[in-house]
C-alpha cells in the first residue's frame, strides 16, 4: 500500500522531479506551504510522512503523521511545543551544511585578514590602495583559535583551522574531543584566543552564553565569528565592542532578527562582515536535501531507524 507523503519543503524543479522519479509508487503530494489549499490540508490530514518543516501548530491537523524529515538542521521551534507527541519521529539535516558553513566562516576570516573588505569596494572604483591595505593585513597561520560546538560544523572548522597550523581549542559540554568544558575554562580561552568561532545550536543552555563579559574580555585584535545561532550571543554587547573597536572585527552569519532591519547598527560596525545567513547555501543545496530525504525514506520504508533522529529533550 502506498505511503502518504506530503512535501512541505522549499525545493526547485530538479529536486521535485528526483522525488517523483524515485518514489513513483508512493502517494506523494507537493503542498504550497505559503498558501495551503484545501487539497493540501486534506493530504496533510492523511499524511504518514512529511518532508519539510511543518509548523508545530499544524501538527494536530495531521493525526496520522509518524515521521517528519526537516529541511533544516535547526529544530528549536519544536522543542517546547505541546503539539509534538511521542509518536512523532523528527529527523534533521545534521551534517549537510558542515562544509558550506565552515567555508563561509573561513572565507570571512580570511577576507578580514587579507584586507578584502577594503580592496573589493576599491576595485569597483578603480582605486589602487596597496599602500593603505598592506600594513593592515595579517596571517591566520599560527593563530590561537577557540571553536564553540563539537557538532559536524565545529569539527570541520577545527580541521580547517588546523590546516593553517592554528592552535585550536574546542568547547563542548560532553564531546570526548573537547578540551574546554566549563564556563571558567571558556572564559579563560575567550581572553587568550585570537579567533573565536561559534558553531553552537540554540538550546536552553546556549541562549545568551556568549555574554558581555566574555566579549569584553577578548583581545583587541581578536576576531569573533558566529555561524551557529544568533540567540547564543548578547547581540547588543557584540555591537558595542565592535563600535568601540575593543576587538579586531567579526564575521556574522546569524543574527537575532533576520533579515537584519535597515538602520540596525550591525550594518555599520567596523571590520564586520555580515554573510546574511548564507552560510549553509550552495548550488546543489535543494537537490541534496531531496537526496537525503530519499535516503532516509528508504530506511523508513524498510522499518530501519532513520538517520539524524533528534532528541527534543537533549536539544540535539
Q: Is 310 a member of any domain? A: no
Q: Is 68 a member of any domain? A: yes
For residue 316, pLDDT over 70 is answered with no
pLDDT in tens, 58-76: 999 999 999 999 999 988 8
Q: Is 269 a member of any domain? A: yes
Mean pLDDT in residue range 72-87: 85
User: pTM score, two decimals?
Assistant: 0.92
Q: Is 163 a member of any domain? A: yes
Assess whether 241 and 171 both reside in one domain.
yes
CATH number (domain holding residue 193): 3.40.50.720
Assess whether 87 and 138 both reside in one domain.
no
Assess whether 65 and 134 both reside in one domain.
no
Assess whether 33 and 62 both reside in one domain.
yes
Question: How many domains would you assign to the chain?
Answer: 2
Q: Which residue has the cell 564556563?
A: 183
Assess whether 261 and 287 both reside in one domain.
no
Give residue 159's pLDDT band: very low, low, confident or very high (50, 70, 90): very high
Assess whether 108 and 233 both reside in one domain.
yes
Mean pLDDT in residue range 190-210: 96
- Residue 81's domain comprises 4-96+283-301
Q: Is 253 a member of any domain? A: yes
Cell numbers linked to 244: 568601540
Amino acid at each position: 500500500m502506498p505511503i502518504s507523503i506530503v512535501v512541505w519543503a522549499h525545493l526547485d524543479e530538479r529536486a521535485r522531479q528526483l522525488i517523483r522519479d524515485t518514489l513513483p509508487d508512493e502517494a506523494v503530494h507537493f503542498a504550497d506551504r505559503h498558501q495551503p489549499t484545501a487539497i493540501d490540508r486534506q493530504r496533510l490530514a492523511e499524511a504518514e510522512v512529511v518532508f519539510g518543516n511543518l509548523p508545530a501548530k499544524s501538527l494536530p491537523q495531521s493525526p496520522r503523521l509518524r515521521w517528519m524529515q526537516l529541511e533544516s538542521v535547526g529544530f528549536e521551534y519544536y522543542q517546547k511545543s505541546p503539539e509534538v507527541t511521542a509518536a512523532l519521529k523528527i529527523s534533521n539535516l545534521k551534517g549537510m551544511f558542515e562544509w558550506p558553513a565552515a567555508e563561509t566562516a573561513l572565507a570571512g576570516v580570511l577576507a578580514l585578514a587579507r584586507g578584502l573588505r577594503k580592496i573589493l569596494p576599491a576595485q569597483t572604483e578603480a582605486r589602487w590602495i596597496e599602500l593603505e591595505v598592506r600594513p593592515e593585513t595579517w596571517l591566520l597561520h599560527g593563530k590561537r583559535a577557540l571553536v564553540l560546538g563539537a557538532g559536524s560544523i565545529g569539527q570541520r572548522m577545527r580541521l580547517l583551522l588546523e590546516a593553517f597550523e592554528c592552535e585550536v581549542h574546542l568547547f563542548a559540554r560532553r564531546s570526548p574531543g573537547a578540551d574546554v568544558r566549563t564556563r571558567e575554562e571558556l572564559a579563560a580561552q575567550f581572553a587568550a584566543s585570537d579567533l573565536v568561532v561559534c558553531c553552537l545550536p540554540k538550546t536552553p543552555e546556549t541562549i545568551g552564553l556568549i555574554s558581555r563579559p566574555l566579549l569584553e574580555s577578548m583581545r583587541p585584535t581578536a576576531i569573533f565569528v558566529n555561524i551557529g545561532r544568533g540567540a547564543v550571543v548578547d547581540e547588543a554587547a557584540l555591537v558595542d565592542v565592535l563600535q568601540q573597536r575593543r576587538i579586531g572585527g567579526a564575521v556574522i552569519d546569524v543574527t537575532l532578527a533576520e533579515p537584519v532591519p535597515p538602520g540596525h547598527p550591525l550594518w555599520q560596525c567596523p571590520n564586520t562582515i555580515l554573510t546574511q545567513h548564507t552560510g549553509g547555501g550552495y548550488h546543489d543545496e535543494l537537490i541534496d536535501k531531496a537526496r537525503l530525504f530519499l535516503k532516509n525514506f528508504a530506511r523508513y520504508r524498510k522499518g530501519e531507524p532513520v538517520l539524524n533522529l533528534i532528541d527534543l529533550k537533549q536539544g540535539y
